[in-house]
Structure 1
Amino acid sequence: MSPRLLLSLRGLACGYQDHQVVQQLNLHLNAGDIGCLLGPSGCGKTTTLRAIAGFEPVLEGEIELGGEVISRAGFTLAPEKRRIGMVFQDYALFPHLTVAENVAFGIRKHPQREQVTAELLDLVKLGHLGKRYPHELSGGQQQRVSLARALAPEPKLLLLDEPFSNLDGELRRRLSHEVRDILKARGTSAILVTHDQEEAFAVSDHVGVFHEGRLQQWDTPYNLYHEPLTPFVASFVGQGYFIRGQLQTPETVHTELGVIRGNRAYTWAAGSAVDVLLRPDDIVYAPDSPLQAQIVGKTFLGAATLYRLQLSTGTQLEAIFPSHADHQPGQSVGIRVAADHLVLFAAQGSVAAQVKLPESGVRRVSSN
């Protein structure tokens, strides 16, 4: 059975006082899926979320929800008529109402209000706290109440605006997994806004990376990490960095780390200057390797240690090694490259860049 399209943004431009913050946005979300808008502050993700909610007008294009146009230039369906739920970062609970009363606020005329409220409180693991008031709860518990209240009217779509930003790191990680489980258990479609990659990947089926008001890529977390379409996505997601290389064959590139072969074929001419994407897990500790690098910095991460390495040429790399061995700054270590996903971009100023090939200039290599 093919997935059913729920939300569609086509050629969308939105902003404030005719100033376009978001431009030419095209995005689609299937029913039951969880999407995420990810990017640095000021990139347009919150503006997009507010436009979907009906809080901001659309300057160009349109937004369609469940087959109905809810926004286009000159028309904005009122937020309360959209069947869209909202979860805010500051919880926005009513302090004078109990937990149960907060959850039931949007379904006061529902014939089974008490039953629905009890089921939702059990779902968010707060069934025993229905008679308490918001100020008697922890931050994580308040956010669960906010989520249950948003789910009570059975919205077509749930929007979450930086919902975990007021929580500490460990609680954020735990609650993000719990929220995904809750949404999947209810079959609720949702869009999350965050600047935290770990949070985005933990919750979402698809993630859209924004940069300066434009959607760079809408894809699965796996593909964003291993198959980035633009240099910005490559560097923004997963601590990516670049070294210069020269294309030898469609599948191989020569770099100061040696010849790297991958699972992609590139269409640029042999000899083209390229930027090679590397990530810390692409550099492997290899004590017997003739390729040596000096440790110039380290960050202990528990199960692994992130090292900053410097080659004899002065080029710096980042690498993650298991933390069983504790290498010290100033020490030289053997390394090798283990990058199955060879991701290249035309080097700025190179012939490949000047002829305006696609940024990655890539076609997939068959695995057969």
Structure 2
Amino acid sequence: MSEIVLELNELACGYDDTPIVHELSLHLRAGDIGCLLGPSGCGKTTTLRSIAGFEAVTAGEIRLRGELLSSPTTRVPPDRRRIGMVFQDYALFPHLTVSENIAFGISRHPQRRRIVSELLELVNLDRLGNRYPHELSGGQQQRVALARALAPEPALLLMDEPFSNLDGDLRRRLSAEVRDILKARGISAMLVTHDQSEAFAMCDQVGVLREGRLQQWDTPYNLYHEPATPFVASFIGQGYFLRGQLLTPDTVQTELGVIRGNRAYQLPTGSAVDVLLRPDDIVGEDGSALTATITGKVFLGATTLYRLQLPTGSTVETLFPSHDDHPLGEVLGIRVAADHLVIFAAQGSVNVSATLPLEQMLAQGDSA
């Protein structure tokens, strides 16, 4: 099993005596890329700044490879933490060339020329070492910032919304490139973002934060298929909750019929439950007795997302291949294909959307 690089144990921190993060515990293994994901104001950047040493800790502790960095009585200065940082605005020195920016943190290293040359090649900027930041594109500037952070060979790399200033296509391509670079060099990293697709594409472990509290620290797959709380279920991916009744530990009665999952739920038999249904849980089936009317659609390229109204008035969503085109108002035969059933004790109203309304999805773009 890989060595643990970063440990947060019951961490609490904030700004100006205002608590932001509460009882946060997680660990990151060597070579893994982790992420703190959540809505604005949830505490993800505060946590990252505390790891970097820019903010004090009011409770708990931060350890890097077993060494205590922060606690209420201990605070190792940022420049002694062996931690690299990539900022949202790149923070490059405008009066220094690309090579000089990369060499800034290793100016006294006897092998600095070799290190800079290797890093320029690593980030595909080997012909641009003599240029200045203003002569580079946004993506190139971000590569320089990454190379500068890697130059001192940090034990951990922190990235605070590193791609948010880039357009959607470039952001996706650059995030994939950065992941490949980090994996090739075995570098452990922690990313902060509000973009789910970015977090899922880049990271091995993702922590979902809500109001300063960690809801779940898990793989992207488990966050989507096995959310630990209703908030995680709602925040991750698309979907709707339908009210149902638990018939047996693994079977629930809903207006879509009886649905059986792949595990037992520790809830009393007969209790009211909320069942999460993702778009990939609903599939088309010609001739099915279960039907729904198309009330909305969004073309997504390879697929089309349809909003369906059930005869009872409740709503679900489904994804079809884009060449399988259907008009608004058409009645479709459907069935449920959800062996990874996600169930919670009933809360609030029935059929609550777990995502933004369909009509907002295009405006939302790649943000989550």
Question: What's the TM-score once normalised by structure 2's chain length?
Answer: 0.93
Paired position in structure 1 for 2:189: 190
**How far 1:285 moved relative to its partner?**
1.4
Alignment of 1:125-164 (within 5 A): 125-164=124-163
**How far 1:287 moved relative to its partner?**
2.0
**3-state SS in 1 of match to 2:143:** helix
**How far 1:75 moved relative to its partner?**
2.5
**3-state SS in 1 of match to 2:294:** strand
Paired position in structure 2 for 1:28: 27
Paired position in structure 2 for 1:108: 107
**How far apart in 1 are the matches of 2:161 and 2:240?**
27
Paired position in structure 2 for 1:322: 321
**3-state SS in 1 of match to 2:328:** coil
Paired position in structure 2 for 1:242: 241
Matched-pair identity in %: 73
CA deviations over 1:292-330 (Å, ceiling 9, x no partner):
111111000011000111111110111111111211111
Paired position in structure 1 for 2:254: 255
Q: State the one-letter code of the partner of 2:4.
A: L
CA deviations over 1:277-298 (Å, ceiling 9, x no partner):
1111111111221111111110
Paired position in structure 2 for 1:119: 118
The answer (yes or no) to whether the contact 2:5–2:29 under 8 Å persists in 1 is: yes
Paired position in structure 1 for 2:200: 201
**3-state SS in 2 of match to 1:222:** helix
**How far apart in 2 are the matches of 1:269 and 1:75?**
47
Residues 124-133 or 341-350, more deviating: 341-350
CA deviations over 1:145-182 (Å, ceiling 9, x no partner):
00000000000100000000000000011011100000
**How far apart in 2 are the matches of 1:213 and 1:72?**
18
RMSD across aligned C-alpha pairs, in angstroms?
1.1
Q: State the one-letter code of the partner of 1:41.
A: S
Runs of 4+ aligned structure 1 residues displaced above 6 Å come to none
The answer (yes or no) to whether the contact 2:233–2:276 under 8 Å persists in 1 is: yes
**How far 1:241 moved relative to its partner?**
2.2
Q: State the one-letter code of the partner of 2:221.
A: Y
Q: Is 1:18 aligned with 2:17?
A: yes
Question: What's the TM-score once normalised by structure 1's chain length?
Answer: 0.93
CA deviations over 1:67-125 (Å, ceiling 9, x no partner):
11110013321101101100011111111111111111111111111111011111111
Paired position in structure 1 for 2:347: 348
**How far apart in 2 are the matches of 1:250 and 1:66?**
42
**How far 1:274 moved relative to its partner?**
0.4
**How far 1:240 moved relative to its partner?**
3.0
**How far apart in 2 are the matches of 1:34 and 1:238?**
20
Q: State the one-letter code of the partner of 1:89.
A: Q
Matched length: 349
Alignment of 1:183-332 (within 5 A): 183-332=182-331
Q: State the one-letter code of the partner of 2:210.
A: H
**How far 1:349 moved relative to its partner?**
7.3
Paired position in structure 1 for 2:61: 62
**How far 1:17 moved relative to its partner?**
2.0
Unmatched runs of 5 consecutive residues or more in structure 1: 351-368
**How far 1:340 moved relative to its partner?**
1.5
The answer (yes or no) to whether the contact 2:6–2:63 under 8 Å persists in 1 is: yes
Q: State the one-letter code of the partner of 1:167.
A: L
**How far 1:251 moved relative to its partner?**
1.1
**How far apart in 2 are the matches of 1:21 and 1:108?**
37
Q: State the one-letter code of the partner of 1:146.
A: A
CA deviations over 1:6-34 (Å, ceiling 9, x no partner):
11111111001222100010010111111
